[in-house]
Chain A
Amino acid sequence: MTIAPDVLERHGLKPDEYQRIVDALKREPTLTELGIFSVMWSEHCSYKSSRVHLRTLPTTGPRVLQGPGENAGAVDIGDGLAAVFKIESHNHPSFIEPYQGAATGVGGIIRDIFTMGARPIALLNSLRFGSLDDPLVRRTFAGVVAGIAGYGNSIGIPTVGGEVGFDESYTGNPLVNVFCLGIANAADIIKGVASGAGNAVYYVGAKTGRDGIHGATMASAEFDDKSAEKRPAVQVGDPFMEKLLLEACLEVMKTDALIGIQDMGAAGLTCSTSEMGSRGGAGVEIDVSLVPQRESGMTPYEIMLSESQERMLMVVKRGREAEVEQIFEKWDLHAVRVGEVTTDGKLRVKNRGEVVAEIPNGALTDEAPVYRRPMVEPAYLKEVQQLSFGSLGKPAAPAEVFRRLLGSPTIASKRWVYRQYDHMVRTNTLVMPGMGAGVVRVKGTNRALAMSVDCNGRFVYLDPFVGAQLAVAEAARNVACAGGVPIGATNCLNFGNPERPEIMWQFAKAVEGMGAACRTLGIPITGGNVSLYNETDGRGVLPTPVLGVVGLIEEADTVVRRAFQAAGDVVIMLGDTRDELGGSEYLKVMHGLIRGVPPALDLGREAALHRVLIEGAATGIIRSAQDCSEGGFAVTLTECCIGTGLGADVELPGVASATPGLGDIATLFSESASRVIVSVAAGREADLLGLAAREGVSARRIGLVGGSGIRVAIDGRRVLDEPLNEAEQTWATAIERYFEPARAIA
């Protein structure tokens, strides 16, 4: 059969890619085979645009048990245990159908974790939306949060932290990145491999329907118009089914009857069969007529490409089948034998015994196309890096800026969000959401894990290299503030259309920056996800390479929290504030601008700061710690006070500003990197200053915890004196007032 050009186009395949398919098969593909190639060679599965860049990232280290290439990465956390974690995006589906898009994103990442043999114990998410003034954005935002809650709460995995940011660039393209972490016995980590000829291949979980079949592959000779209508673009999640699948799989994994297992996520059966075979150096043969189906009349093409949720593919050791089937039976799930492992290295798909596709696994996986796409420095960069305050008029009074920033949704309390997430189930949550890094204890040990996901897209937009480094620094710093030693990371790279050379340049520079920062800070990246084509009407989102960092705390009872602990404690500023308002929340909120250059970052100094924080926590010197990010010093100081009823009275040395009259603004609201506000008991001040001096980190006593106000002086002049309860009210209600106006007024 010959494939018409329009069919190729609808499959998203270029003519030269088609030729490669013909060369690999040494014949023309069948339509089913074409569908299989199209999804495996899609950007999503093959990473064809990003792979050459991703290869430069540091992925190894003494603690790394599993790097990229498996369902998730894994690092050694001692006591024979491994932390298994990964972050993934579900951006496009979440815009089309916010609730289900976000919910199935949560379901997908959870499956990636438990397929490794790990019990998932924590979720985080990194979300971006347009402005809440836009009713469509409010609907998307509310739907995404409800979807994350609906799935995570039901399955019983706590959402312990994350970040939410708002910028107009995300209006038509929200970002929904979900991170999951689980705990496994290091020796029992299970991989997505198929091996051992004759071993049975099992299908478990939900039935296969026509949902989620790749939009690009919709029309063909085999479909009529009606079948296209039946096919929703977004899958529907069933957290109850996944809960059963989770428990059943973990129970089966305890038996050592499995060779390998893989989630059917993107590209469903196609991806799981070919990847498992490829990793195991084996072939996989299945008969699609045996696959449990939710709808009648499904073609092999549809069954192979369906992205129905809550399904897994397992390879079971010969002779252990009954044992495995019995466990799934207990959970009222059906484990169906759909095929077996072969020796020929091919993916062979049959339909009632007749071969409908036969493709070497290698052609679908390792030998998929890899592109070094053209790159060019974006023209906008030179222009937006120019920042002249002269034209912006006289700056507003510090008190006014302070109130506006506290009420900015990006800075304000996210309680409206995390109150909808069960963040306490599994009784491990030591640090609640909204308080910096999420921290969970590891039962059966004295240890705890701190986790943070971060990225400031404005900084990346203004300088992709430095911006990505700043994302790494901030995530690691958040983890270090809690007392965690950063031991591993996972990334979720959200960018626009890679076929535009400017976007590809942003991507390449950001990956370069991320790699350089991770190398210097000694944090291996053990896996992640790339999400490209985040654009609406030809305008990309702010480039947003999110980094999730995992930190190890040796003694769970030494964990450090954000909030000040007692009146009379000494407030100490670690790091230096400079005249760095480029890309700041100040510029965005007060002037509607994203301009200038991001704050400078000295990675050596950043690493030294982390050592001070980690040792200060482990030795009990530091009583609270919070890193300075969006909103700068004044906002961070307030965050340390909120929830405690304890104010603070501090004095800072002024920052010299290049712009006359802007010194106070720069001192209070600059977003200089590598800064943390900590507090120590009155008697421990010298200990901390000594520790900082040994590490070469600048540290300065700036005042005391206490009183009922946020009081800040610069060089002896009082510049801010705000009642804490009012500041707290502004900060606490900024987001919910968009949804519950009556209550905010009352």
Chain B
Amino acid sequence: MKFAVVVFPGSNCDHDAHYAATHVLGQQAEYVWHKDTSLGNADAVILPGGFAHGDYLRTGAIARFSPVMTAVRKFADAGGPVLGICNGFQVLLEAGMLPGAMLRNRSVKFQCEHVLIKTEQTDTPFTLACRPGQVLRIPIAHGEGNYYAEPDVVARLDKNRQVVFRYTNADGVETEDANPNGSVSNIAGLCNERRNVVGLMPHPERACELALGSSDGRVLFDSVVRAVTQGAFAAAR
């Protein structure tokens, strides 16, 4: 299968996502410049981490206007799998493709460290290879990952089973200590109602090889390979 890795000016995890897709998974991947209007014949789209346009305004606030986002939205509307990682998640929020917003971390500092997240939904293209409730050890690296949404929005997310990942302890229990940034309801990742667009703050592409400290993130990529291969979540072109 083929991944499209979108490159905004200021993206800096684009190489890492590309490397995970190609060198670790043995799949194809192509960079798509933000000024491009086509995603080519990609089967899945990754919006990578970084600081798009420097994030001098709100994170992702300018990137959502990039020409490529029209194509990404069209791809998602057609059912194609889209994964937003860290800054990519922030872009999806700003683009209105996922609900809610990001605040600065509770610590008011950038934080880079491994955290634990529990997989709450296994019927998205990026989690279908996970065991229900599987706890993954994956690093975060962000200054603005404190997810916020109004209580009614959070309630709707719960009702629709749109919270895909939550920060938990090793036993899968949501605790205050396990929440690295103050996110409401310990939310680490979400999907849209159609379940084909997933965004999360932790970096699964940094946790695809044991040599780097964890290979728990690989399951997200294995999932989408399986989803695409099985024909589930294929973009209707």
Q: Is B15 an interface residue (CB 8 A)?
A: yes
| Distance of B114 from chain A, by nearest CB (Å) | 9
B interface bracket (residues with beta carbon within 8 Å of A):
20 to 34
Contact of A426 among B16, B110, B143, B209 (CB under 8 A): B16
Interface string of A236-249 (1 = CB under 8 A from B): 00111101100000
Q: B210's closest neighbor in chain A, by CB?
A: A557
Q: Using Cβ atoms and an 8 Å threshold, which residues of chain B touch A425?
A: 12-13, 16, 49, 141, 206
Rounded to whole angstroms, the CA-CA distance of A425 and B85 in the bound complex is 13
Q: Which of A153, A154, A419 contacts B113 (CB 8 A)?
A: A419
B211 interfacial by beta-carbon distance below 8 Å? yes
Q: How many residues of A contact B (CB 8 A)?
A: 33
Compute how far the CA of A156 lies from the CA of B205 in the bound complex, rounded to whole angstroms: 14
Contact residues, A218-245 vs B (CB, 8 A): 238-241, 243-244
Q: Is A504 part of the binding interface, using a Cβ–Cβ cutoff of 8 Å? A: no
Complex CA–CA separation, A419 to B141 (angstroms) = 9
Question: How many angstroms between the C-alpha atoms of A149 and B111 in the bound complex?
Answer: 10
Q: A420-B112, A423-B112, A424-B203 are in contact. Are A154 and B13 (CB under 8 A)?
A: no
CA distance A146 to B107 in the complex (A): 13
A240 near B51: Cβ-Cβ < 8 Å? yes
Given A146-B109, A419-B112, A424-B139, A240:B10 Cβ within 8 A: yes
Smallest CB gap from B141: residue in A: A422
Per-position contact with B for A58-72: 1 when CB-CB < 8 Å, else 0?
000000000000000
* Residue among A240, A330, A421, A427 with most chain B CB within 10 A: A427
- Check A430–B109 contact: CB distance below 8 A: no
| Pick from A149, A427, A429: contact of B110, CB under 8 Å | A149
Given A240-B10, A420-B110, verify A426-B54 contact (CB < 8 Å): no
Say if the beta carbon of A389 comes within 8 Å of chain B.
no
A56 to B: closest C-beta gap in Å: 41
Chain A residues within 8 Å of B161, by CB: none
- B206 A424 Cβ-Cβ under 8 A: yes
In the complex, A608 has a CB within 8 A of chain B? no
Once bound together, how far apart are the Cα atoms of A556 and B209, in whole Å? 13
Q: A142-162 vs B: 1/0 string, CB under 8 Å?
A: 000010011001111000000
Assess the B12–A427 pair: CB atoms within 8 A.
Answer: no
B180 nearest in chain A by CB position: A419
Q: How far is the CB of A444 from chain B (nearest CB, A)?
A: 9
Contacts of B10 in A (CB 8 A): 154, 240, 243-244
A432 at the B interface (CB under 8 A): yes
CA separation between A225 and B116, bound complex, in Å? 58
Question: A239-B51, A419-B112 in contact; A424/B212 too (CB < 8 A)?
Answer: yes
Within 8 A of A (CB), among B3-58: 9-10, 12-13, 15-16, 19-20, 23, 33, 49-51, 53-56
Interface residue B213 (Cβ < 8 Å from any Cβ of A): yes
Contact B12 A155 (CB under 8 A): yes
Asked if B13 and A430 sit within 8 Å, CB to CB, the answer is: no
In this complex, what residue of B is CB-closest to A432?
Answer: B213
Contact A419 B111 (CB under 8 A): yes
**Are A424 and B54 in contact (CB-based, < 8 A)?**
no
Q: Please indicate the chain A residues that have their CB under 8 angstroms from the CB of B141 in the complex.
A: 153, 422, 424-425
Q: Chain B residues near A332 (CB, 8 Å)?
A: 9
Q: How far is the CB of B51 from chain A (nearest CB, A)?
A: 4
Within 8 A of A (CB), among B47-91: 49-51, 53-56
Q: Would you list which residues of chain B between 156 and 171 have a CB under 8 Å from chain A?
A: none
* Chain A 471-515 near chain B by CB (<8 Å), digits 1 or 0: 000000000000000000000000000000000000000000000
The answer for the CA separation of A420 and B110 in the assembled complex, in Å, is: 5
Report the Cα distance A241→B12, complex, angstroms. 13
Docked Cα-Cα span, A155 to B112, in Å, equals 15
Set of chain B residues within 8 Å of A418, measured between Cβ atoms: 112
Residues from 654 to 680 in A contacting B, C-beta threshold 8 Å: none
A441 — which chain B residues lie within 8 A by C-beta?
211
Contact: B206 with A240, CB < 8 Å?
no
In the complex, A107 Cα to B143 Cα: how many Å?
Answer: 20
Q: Of B13, B53, B205, which one neighbours A240 at CB under 8 angstroms?
A: B53
Encode A127-154 as 1/0 by CB contact (under 8 A) with B. Answer: 0000000000000000000100110011
Which applies to chain B's interface (DSSP): helix, strand, loop or mixed?
A: mixed
Asked if A443 is an interface residue, CB under 8 A from chain B, the answer is: yes
- Asked if A331 is an interface residue, CB under 8 A from chain B, the answer is yes
Contacts A154-B54, A419-B113, A420-B111 given; does A243 touch B211 at CB 8 Å: no
Contact partner, B9, options A153, A243, A429, A556, Cβ 8 Å = A243
Measured CB to CB, the closest approach of chain A to B214, in angstroms, equals 10
User: Which chain B residues border A155 with CB–CB below 8 Å?
Assistant: 12
Specify which of A243, A427, A430 is in contact with B20 (CB 8 Å cutoff). A427
Measured CB to CB, the closest approach of chain A to B207, in angstroms, equals 9
Output the nearest chain A residue to B12 by Cβ-Cβ distance: A156
- Cα A430 to Cα B210 in complex, Å, equals 10
Contact of B211 among A150, A154, A156, A557 (CB under 8 A): A557
Alpha-carbon distance A331/B209, docked complex (angstroms): 32
Known: A240-B56, A427-B205. A421 touches B211 (CB 8 A): no
In the complex, are the beta carbons of A156 and B13 less than 8 A apart?
yes
Residues of chain A lying within 8 A (CB to CB) of residue B209: 427
Residues in chain A near residue B203, CB distance under 8 A: 424
Contact (Cβ within 8 A) A443 B212: no
Closest partner residue, chain A, to B113 (CB atom) = A419
B109 touches A420 (CB 8 A): yes
Select the residue from B12, B139, B143, B203 with max chain A CB neighbours within 10 A. B12
B211: nearest residue on chain A (CB-CB)? A430
CA distance A146 to B33 in the complex (A): 30
Which chain B positions have C-beta within 8 A of A556?
211
Q: In the bound complex, how far is the Cα of B182 from the Cα of A332, in angstroms?
A: 36
- CA A674 to CA B13, docked complex, whole Å: 40
How many Å from the CB of B20 to the closest CB on chain A? 7
Closest CB in chain A relative to B109 CB, distance in Å: 5
Residues of B within 8 A of A243 (CB): 9-10, 12, 51, 54
Contact in complex: B19, A427 (CB < 8 Å): yes
Q: Which chain A residue has the least Cβ–Cβ distance from B205?
A: A427
Interface residues in B129-149 (C-beta closer than 8 Å to A):
139, 141, 143
Rank and list the top 10 A-B pairs by shortest CB-CB distance, nearest first: A156-B12, A240-B54, A154-B51, A422-B141, A427-B16, A422-B112, A420-B110, A424-B206, A149-B110, A240-B10
- A153-B112, A418-B112, A432-B213 known, 18 other contacts, Cβ within 8 Å: A154-B10, A154-B54, A154-B55, A238-B54, A243-B51, A243-B54, A244-B10, A331-B9, A419-B112, A420-B110, A423-B112, A424-B141, A425-B206, A426-B16, A427-B205, A427-B208, A427-B212, A441-B211
28 contacts between A and B (CB under 8 A): A150-B110, A155-B12, A156-B51, A238-B54, A239-B51, A239-B54, A240-B9, A240-B51, A240-B54, A241-B54, A243-B9, A243-B10, A243-B51, A243-B54, A244-B10, A330-B33, A420-B112, A422-B110, A422-B141, A424-B112, A424-B203, A425-B16, A427-B19, A427-B20, A427-B205, A427-B212, A443-B19, A556-B211
Residues in chain A within 8 A of chain B (CB atoms):
146, 149-150, 153-156, 238-241, 243-244, 330-332, 418-427, 429-430, 432, 441, 443, 556-557
